[in-house]
Chain A
Amino acid sequence: MNIIIPIKQVPETSNVKMDKEKGTMIRDGVQTVINPLDLYALETGIQLKEKFGGKITVISMGPPSATKALKEAIAMGCDDAVLLSDKKFAGSDTWATSYTISQSIKEMGDYDLIIAGERATDGDTGQVGPGIAAWLDLPLATYVSKIEKVDETELVVERLVEEGYQKLQMPMPALLTVVKEISHPRLPTLRGKKKARVSEIPIFTAEKMNLKPESLGLNGSPTKVVKIDFPTVTRGGTVVKVEGETGVEEAVDKLLDFLKRKELI
């Protein structure tokens, strides 16, 4: 079974510093990691490979430094990696990103399954996975929490939805986006790390993939950011300290007053 896993490199914490004038993230000095929700996609893919054989190719779109995330994926147990990197890709929204990634997947051809994380923790849209499925016209299951059955041509999966778990049967090739519940990501092995270190990661540019220039990057993105605001984190609420014997009662009374004032009870 050949599996493709698109991943994203994201800042390690969500506590990023912003350049307030430019409205961009200050990336200097910020540690980057594989998007934590992509780890579940990687683990799911590796488990399928262990059962059915085949190979896993990881793809990421980003600056040359995103090679680090791809190498980490190889260290976990993926086989190959491809980096989509070109100045022309900069500023892509989810439409342009899913276009670029889907074209690279077309370029690579032969695959049975694409597995993506539910969303990235920085952009937080969850739109690129479904977008890739739409570009490639693949059957899609989002929020997959369990793969119940796999055979040569077909999958049975469960999706975590509002009412519970929806069970779907779908043919392959298909695209799944997975949630945390599906697996426990493994740590890289020493052997994996060694392999990652010597892996050559090919870089796909816009030219190499024969992409439509008008569909790339900031200019090719239908959505435009027009304004950035910085919400204040601190709400400046009331904090009551429990002190002494009567403290608990008093604190609880004050809380009940607050809830009544706000018409919450």
Chain B
Amino acid sequence: MNELWTIAEQKNGKLKSVSFELLSRGRKLADEMNAKLCSVLIGGPMKDETLQELFHRGADMAYVVEDERLEDFIVETHSNVLTDLIETYKPHTILAAATTSGRTMMPYVAIKVNTGLTADCTELAIEEGTNHLLQTRPAIGGNIMATIKTPNHSPQMATVRPKSSRPLPENTSRSGEILRVKLKEELVDARVKVLGIRKDEEEFANIEEADVIVSGGKGMKKEENFGMLRDLASHFNAVIGASRDAVDRGWATYPHQVGLSGKTVSPKLYICAGVSGSIQHLAGIKTAEHIVAINSDPDANIFQVADFGIVGDLFEVIPALNKKLEMEKGGAPDEI
């Protein structure tokens, strides 16, 4: 039976949610081509009971290579391990998340196992008859959607954006086989060493994985005004984003930058204020599910892509919005 693999990710013995998002994509594809869905975890030590969630979320089987030396992602060693697994078990298809590690390991492995790889797919399907993976991705700044396949090489490999699919509901009656594969010494590449991790801010902004982003642009006028955006963000548990203009002016740091030279994001809700909507910015938010724009210029480009837009002074609109949201949260009556 063909196997479809999804790459699970972990941190300190806990599975990251991208592991389950990939299984939900993988389950559909595996059913279409009657394949076995296997989650592949290369990382630090994992308990059996933690791994059960992989089965509850759709996996039929789990390959686990665990070792203290695999806790931190190091592309050389992780790629060696995945390459060895591929050569041993010959999967039909491998999906990984387009995280910093997925986007580093997958291109490395694709070269080592001599196959194609498509980055950042938004849609995946199985071609009838051939069982080739049809991989659709935005390209050229989101101007086109290209469907790509790898007809003559194996395995079929693709990365998909975090948050672009939802995990399946947990079904605790499902179970599966855990196959633990011992880490072979010769696969450990000791050239690169992890010295540590540093967090800059209390809440490190990871806008690529955010469900809701509240973004500010040049129209915010100064850094202090981002305060009202942070208030707004707190109502949605959102992460702060910024346009290039705002980052270049020092109102927000680079990890917050949305757009072609920053991050491409795909949240469920993108709220932006004082963002005019340059082509570069729009390209970075095209895959957002809902876009809300607040801008004083009725001709701003941002309104072309907005699902809901308010033409008005953001310094009036945002405080009013914050006030209403505060009232709703407090369960205040509709009328005061």
Contact A16 B141, beta carbon cutoff 8 Å: yes
Task: Indicate whether B191 reaches chain A with its CB closer than 8 angstroms.
Answer: yes
Contact B311 A169, beta carbon cutoff 8 Å: no
Distance between Cα atoms of A93 and B115 in the complex (Å):
11
Contact B324 A256, beta carbon cutoff 8 Å: yes
Task: Indicate whether A103 reaches chain B with its CB closer than 8 angstroms.
Answer: no
Could you give 12 example pairs across A and B, Cβ below 8 Å? Answer: A15-B141, A16-B140, A124-B120, A126-B119, A134-B107, A142-B103, A164-B198, A170-B192, A223-B118, A224-B149, A248-B312, A259-B292
Task: Indicate whether A54 reaches chain B with its CB closer than 8 angstroms.
Answer: no
Encoded as 1 (CB less than 8 Å from any B CB) or 0, chain A from 167 to 192 comes to 11111000000011100000000000
B249 CB to closest chain A CB (Å) equals: 14
Encoded as 1 (CB less than 8 Å from any A CB) or 0, chain B from 51 to 68 comes to 000000000000000000
Query: Which B residues are CB-close (under 8 A) to A231?
Result: 138, 142, 144-145, 286
User: Which B positions have Cβ atoms within 8 angstroms of A?
Assistant: 11, 72, 75-76, 79, 99-101, 103-104, 106-112, 114-120, 134, 136, 138-153, 191-200, 204, 206, 208-209, 212, 235-236, 253-255, 257, 260-262, 264, 268-269, 279-280, 282-283, 286, 290-292, 298, 303-313, 316-317, 320-321, 324-325, 328
Contact A161 B138, beta carbon cutoff 8 Å: no
A114 CB to closest chain B CB (Å) equals: 14
Task: Indicate whether A162 reaches chain B with its CB closer than 8 angstroms.
Answer: yes
**With A133-B108, A239-B306: A121-B261 Cβ-Cβ less than 8 Å:** yes
Task: Indicate whether A196 reaches chain B with its CB closer than 8 angstroms.
Answer: no
Query: Which B residues are CB-close (under 8 A) to A125?
Result: 107, 119-120
Distance between Cα atoms of A129 and B119 in the complex (Å):
13
Contact A14 B150, beta carbon cutoff 8 Å: no
10 closest A-B pairs by beta carbon, nearest first, are: A14-B141, A242-B312, A222-B116, A134-B111, A223-B116, A164-B199, A127-B107, A237-B307, A227-B147, A239-B309
Query: Which A residues are CB-close (under 8 A) to B316?
Result: 242, 248
Distance between Cα atoms of A249 and B316 in the complex (Å):
10
Task: Indicate whether A130 reaches chain B with its CB closer than 8 angstroms.
Answer: yes
Contact A238 B75, beta carbon cutoff 8 Å: no
B241 CB to closest chain A CB (Å) equals: 15
Query: Which B residues are CB-close (under 8 A) to A163?
Result: 11, 197, 199, 204, 206
Task: Indicate whether A201 reaches chain B with its CB closer than 8 angstroms.
Answer: no
Contact B306 A36, beta carbon cutoff 8 Å: no
Given A127-B107, A134-B107, A231-B145, 20 further pairs, Cβ under 8 A: A23-B144, A127-B106, A131-B107, A141-B192, A142-B103, A143-B104, A166-B72, A168-B193, A170-B191, A170-B193, A180-B257, A181-B253, A225-B147, A226-B148, A231-B142, A231-B286, A251-B317, A253-B324, A264-B290, A265-B236
Contact A166 B197, beta carbon cutoff 8 Å: yes
Encoded as 1 (CB less than 8 Å from any B CB) or 0, chain A from 105 to 144 comes to 0000000000000000111111111110111000111110
Contact A15 B146, beta carbon cutoff 8 Å: no
Closest to B286 in A: A231
A215 CB to closest chain B CB (Å) equals: 10
Partner of A180, one of B104, B116, B254: B254
Closest to A231 in B: B145
Encoded as 1 (CB less than 8 Å from any B CB) or 0, chain A from 1 to 20 comes to 00000000001011110100
The stretch of A57-65, A74-82, A152-160, A202-210 that contacts the partner chain: A152-160
Distance between Cα atoms of A121 and B263 in the complex (Å):
11
Partner of A168, one of B149, B151, B195, B303: B195
Distance between Cα atoms of A171 and B308 in the complex (Å):
52
Task: Indicate whether A53 reaches chain B with its CB closer than 8 angstroms.
Answer: no
Partner of B107, one of A23, A130, A237, A240: A130
Distance between Cα atoms of A1 and B256 in the complex (Å):
33
Encoded as 1 (CB less than 8 Å from any B CB) or 0, chain A from 189 to 201 comes to 0000000000000
Task: Indicate whether A52 reaches chain B with its CB closer than 8 angstroms.
Answer: no
**With A170-B192, A223-B116, A247-B312: A239-B150 Cβ-Cβ less than 8 Å:** no
Query: Which B residues are CB-close (under 8 A) to A94?
Result: 107, 117, 119
Distance between Cα atoms of A168 and B320 in the complex (Å):
46
Distance between Cα atoms of A170 and B262 in the complex (Å):
26
Closest to B322 in A: A252
Distance between Cα atoms of A166 and B112 in the complex (Å):
25
Query: Which B residues are CB-close (under 8 A) to A158?
Result: 198
Contact A168 B192, beta carbon cutoff 8 Å: yes
Contact B144 A126, beta carbon cutoff 8 Å: no
Distance between Cα atoms of A121 and B261 in the complex (Å):
7
Contact B103 A126, beta carbon cutoff 8 Å: yes
Contact B304 A223, beta carbon cutoff 8 Å: no
Contact A164 B200, beta carbon cutoff 8 Å: yes
Query: Which B residues are CB-close (under 8 A) to A32?
Result: none
Task: Indicate whether A89 reaches chain B with its CB closer than 8 angstroms.
Answer: no
